Amino acid sequence: MNFFKALSFFLLPVVAFAGELNFSLTTAAADYLERDIEPGEDHFASVAGPFNGAKVATIFNAIYTLPTPLGSHWLLKDADVEFTAGLELSPLSIRPLVKAEFTPVPFLVFGVGGTIGTGWNPLGFDGMSIYNPVKAKYESLTPFKHYYYDFWASATFQFDTGALIPGDWSHVVMQASYQWIYKGITGVDDGDIWEWQVIPGEANGWQYYVTAVLGYQMPLVLDMIGFMAEFYGHYDRSDYAKVYRGFDGEFMWIDLSVLLEFAFNEKNTLKTLFTFEGDRSFSVKHENSDQEPLLKRTGREWSFYRIALVWDHKF
């Protein structure tokens, strides 16, 4: 608790002005399943094994909420701005993050933010690497010499039918979000392909990230069951060098997840996701993702992709 007291003392002039300061800890873990890679056009791939990679990260957040009521109307009286400063730690990387979100009315949220960090590659796991097309493999980048960074803006619509229909069993929740995001790694030329936190096939450039969630909330330990769809990719294929033209830089990833949320108490929740993904399918059979940037995409390969857990704790 000494850390919290020290941080509270540092932020005391801001907190004393108005608003509320809270702290939270989010830990996410994901297991990526191995699939049978098959060439061709759109198709489904079977699961070949229980493990093809893993990701674990913990984020400590300090969250300051500043009330900014825009009037006495019930839609406007709870308007606020939420500022978040965080630090993400994982076995492969470290990065601080900042963001600000403005909620003028309960069903709209506008946000901006950014992160910067560095990574390393222990035991064959790629925290931060660059692709070498001559050797057809990813090679390590030097941590604290190269830095991953991103900055973004977002708009979110959210609605809960419980706002119109009273009762514990009347909560159908809906959320849709669009995010504009620029991702890059310092010291890497535009057009080069890199890997960050075991996710290969990236390149410097502007991207989009769209999410949609539909869920049913209940007054039980199993707090919500729902469905989540994610769509993301680059706006412009020229973010990738010509040598990777067949890789299709404008490809849109699609993740479809079953979502379960458990609320153990007011301070602890656990989300579980079971995800099917629409990945690139290529013209020839290959062994792993190291070969893919030099291949030609011919379709979309669907597979059971990931099992993920996200634990949130509020202090």
Per residue in 171-203, pLDDT (tens digit) is 999 999 999 999 999 999 999 999 999 999 999
What's the domain count of the chain? 1
Find the domain containing 174 and state its range. Answer: 2-314
What is this structure's pTM?
A: 0.91
Note the residue count of the chain: 315
Q: What is the CATH number of the domain that holds 90?
A: 2.40.160.40
Number of helices (H) and strands (E), helices first, in the chain?
2, 19
Q: What single letter denotes the amino acid at residue 99?
A: K
Express each pLDDT in 197-220 by its tens digit: 999 999 999 999 999 999 999 999
User: What is the average pLDDT across 161-167?
Assistant: 92
Token reading at 256: 């479809």
Closest CA to 18 of 101, 83, 110: 83
Express each pLDDT in 77-97 by its tens digit: 889 999 999 999 999 999 999
Give 99's contacts (C-beta < 8 A, 6+ positions apart): 83, 84, 111, 112, 113, 114
Provide the pLDDT for residue 17: 52
What are the residue ranges of helices labelled H in the chain?
Answer: 2-10, 12-17
Give 102's contacts (C-beta < 8 A, 6+ positions apart): 68, 79, 80, 81, 82, 109, 110, 111
Provide the pLDDT for residue 261: 98
